[in-house]
Amino acid sequence: MTLAPITIAIHTFGRELRDDLVRDVRAGLRGSPKSLPPRWFYDEHGSELFEAITRLPEYYQTRTETAILADAAGDLIARVRPEALVELGAGSAAKTRLLIEAGLRDRLSCFVPFDISEAFLQQTARRLAADFPGLAIYAVVGDFAMHVDRVPRHGRQLVVFLGGTIGNFDDRQRREFLRRVRQLLQPGDAFLLGVDLVKDEAELVAAYDDASGVTAQFNRNVLRVLNRELGADFDVDAFEHVAVYNAERSRIEMHLRARAGQRVTIPLAEMVVEFAAGESLLTEISVKFTRDSLEREMEAGGLRLAGWHSDPRERFALCLCEPAMD
């Protein structure tokens, strides 16, 4: 049996990546409050920890989105009839298999997973190639902020962004991201977006502070990345995982809080950073949406909400968007 080809385009290279990390560390750890972009969670170990999060009983997002997709995949494919499926922030692309299966029964021939996590993306590409012979795979290693315009076009496309990852952007990043996605879309193409919805605070906080401590490990992993990549000397266990819901801004905020005063040296960033006892480092936001807030965002990004698929408890939603006519 002949396998369809896997192509991998790498838009991030070793030095450039470390330069980006140094830039983010300098900007984020000098600021007040201190912060780091969530992108740095996802080294190979971080990607594995995220997969473990998706299986936690408290993390309802993944299984809810899977159930919605299982129900809607056939209709979505019948509506868009894509030849190519592009997945931004693909990770393991586990849920996407539902769309691939439905697409292959129609006229899908190409899958384009895009992710920053190179080793993990290669593994995803190889697994999919083995399971779907006949599906051409064109993997793109890139950053949402820089490389979305490098996504190659292989005919009419459905661009998907699942898992609620859009929630990890701040307002400006989200607007810019939606504008870049809009530029990928030609008439007939569509964008499928998974979003986590506003809900009861206790349920939200539990999803980001699970009883078995996997999310805490995921959060602290960013310090391990700084130790390895920049020669830093963070005492990882001296930082406590904290997740709070900011109701005013409809977002979970994940922090690492110094248990005691700390002085950390980061040689490759040429920095010494002081943490006061109890001082917080903001490592991630995860914005929660409503149908109204989303519709407004889409409109501002030149997109039109064409379909809304949710679970009976309205915990999570998949929104189908089409390019709005200018």
Identify which of residues 229 and 253 has a Cβ nearer to ligand AVI in the complex.
Answer: 253
Q: Using CB under 6 A, which of the segments 65-73, 94-102, 161-169, 305-313 binds ligand AVI?
A: 161-169
- HEC string for the chain: CCCCCEEEEECCCHHHHHHHHHHHHHHHHHCCCEECCHHHHCCHHHHHHHHHHHCCCCCHHHHHHHHHHHHHHHHHHHHHCCCEEEEECCCCCCCHHHHHHHHHCCCCCEEEEEECCHHHHHHHHHHHHHHCCCCEEEEEECCCCCCHHHCCCCCCEEEEECCCHHHHCCHHHHHHHHHHHHHHCCCCCEEEEEEEECCCHHHHHHHHCCCCCHHHHHHHHHHHHHHHHHCCCCCHHHEEEEEEEECCCCEEEEEEEECCCEEEEEHHHCEEEEECCCCEEEEEEEECECHHHHHHHHHHCCEEEEEEEECCCCCEEEEEEEECCC
In contact, 244 and 216? CB cutoff 8 Å: no
Identify which of residues 166 and 258 has a Cβ nearer to ligand SAH in the complex.
Answer: 166
**Number of other CB atoms surrounding residue 31 within 10 Å:** 10
Q: Which of 115, 229, 284, 322 binds ligand SAH (CB under 6 A)?
A: 115
Identify which of residues 109 and 290 has a Cβ nearer to ligand AVI in the complex.
Answer: 290
Q: Which of 35, 64, 165, 221 binds ligand SAH (CB under 6 A)?
A: 165
Q: By CB under 6 A, tell whether 208 contacts ligand AVI.
A: yes
Shortest distance, CB of residue 187 to ligand SAH, whole angstroms? 26
Q: By CB under 6 A, tell whether 42 contacts ligand AVI.
A: no
In contact, 125 and 118? CB cutoff 8 Å: no
Q: By CB under 6 A, tell whether 60 contacts ligand SAH.
A: no
Identify which of residues 165 and 280 has a Cβ nearer to ligand AVI in the complex.
Answer: 165
For ligand SAH, the nearest residue by Cβ is 163
Q: Write each residue from 116 to 145 as x if it is in contact with ligand SAH (CB under 6 A), else as -, in one continuous string.
A: xx-------------------------xxx
Q: By CB under 6 A, tell whether 309 contacts ligand SAH.
A: no
Considering only residues 141 to 160 of the shown chain, the ones binding ligand SAH according to CB under 6 A are 143-145
Q: How many residues does the chain have?
A: 326
Q: By CB under 6 A, tell whether 113 contacts ligand SAH.
A: no
Shortest distance, CB of residue 115 to ligand SAH, whole angstroms? 5
Q: By CB under 6 A, tell whether 50 contacts ligand SAH.
A: yes
In contact, 137 and 4? CB cutoff 8 Å: yes
Q: Which of 25, 29, 53, 99 binds ligand AVI (CB under 6 A)?
A: 53
Identify which of residues 53 and 223 has a Cβ nearer to ligand SAH in the complex.
Answer: 53
Considering only residues 6 to 25 of the shown chain, the ones binding ligand SAH according to CB under 6 A are none
Shortest distance, CB of residue 5 to ligand AVI, whole angstroms? 29
- In this structure, the strands spanning 157-161 and 271-275 are unpaired
Structure tokens at 275: 């943490």
Q: By CB under 6 A, tell whether 163 contacts ligand SAH.
A: yes
Question: Where do contacts with ligand SAH occur on this chain (CB under 6 A)?
Answer: 39, 42, 47, 50, 54, 62, 89-91, 115-117, 143-145, 162-163, 165
Question: Where do contacts with ligand AVI occur on this chain (CB under 6 A)?
Answer: 53, 61, 163-165, 167-168, 208, 215, 218, 284, 286
